[in-house]
Chain A
């Protein structure tokens, strides 16, 4: 990924959180994923094909997802299925919006939801995998992107 692509992706994620919640998300400095970087409890993974190949995942904890859902659904409490669904939908929206940067040949799969620490999580991502740290409403999460 080029620096321009990374900056454009950061802009997409920033606008996503702001559009839904009216609370700005603060992006940390992107870095190349290390083996010691752990996923949060809920992870949505999207495979990328077409002109670019690889994958994107967004990983977050239960507290962030529950807070974020309040802005979409109001006062409802989310069960486990809904938390899985939400992390998949957040990943889907961010990856889909990336077509603004990468164009219509940036083909995205339907999201796969993973739980906990999964060793093979980065299998679909092509190195180098960039991590974008995200801080929103006092919760930390991150987006990982690995494209050929």
Chain B
């Protein structure tokens, strides 16, 4: 399964990559801003994306809509510090499969990813 990590922090990119390295993912890329994320998404059409919201050039919620217009079945997990219920609901309404608030542990990220993959398996 192809994974794309989008976060304007390189530390967070590395952490997320590390937390998910034992999963069944092939990391196709890590992007630090919304425009780079869209370029990588168009190129690789990943199955799963972890997507930050507050980023330079294009915010994550705009990316989310654009990604889903290119690949409606992409599983997108929003990973953001914006810890308020309105932002979470907005993301889910726009088609995100989950919302994980920063800070999080490796186990919490794994649970969210398992949840998303569970949704995929249920549907298949």
Contact = CB atoms under 8 A, between A and B. Distances in A.
Contacts of B118: none
Contacts of B101: 97
Contacts of A103: 84, 86
A96 B9 contact: no
Contacts of B81: 92-97
A96 B56 contact: no
B54 A86 contact: no
Interface residues of A, number: 27
Interface in B1-56: 8-12, 14-15, 18, 54-56
A32 interface: no
B18 A73 contact: yes
A1 interface: no
A96 B80 contact: yes
B117 interface: no
Nearest to A65: B11
Given A92-B54, A93-B81, A96-B54, A19 B103 contact: yes
Contact of B15 (A73, A95, A97, A110): A73
Interface residues of B, number: 23
B11 A86 contact: yes
A86 B86 CA distance: 27
Contact of B83 (A20, A82, A88, A100): A100
A93 B11 CA distance: 13
B80 A110 contact: no
Contacts of B9: 85-86, 88-89, 92
A77 to B, nearest CB: 12
B41 to A, nearest CB: 20
A16 B103 contact: yes
B22 to A, nearest CB: 14
B111 interface: no
A34 to B, nearest CB: 29
22 contacts: A19-B103, A19-B104, A73-B15, A85-B10, A85-B11, A86-B11, A89-B11, A89-B12, A92-B9, A96-B54, A96-B81, A96-B83, A96-B102, A99-B83, A99-B84, A104-B87, A108-B82, A109-B54, A110-B8, A110-B54, A110-B55, A110-B56
A110 B54 CA distance: 6
A143 interface: no
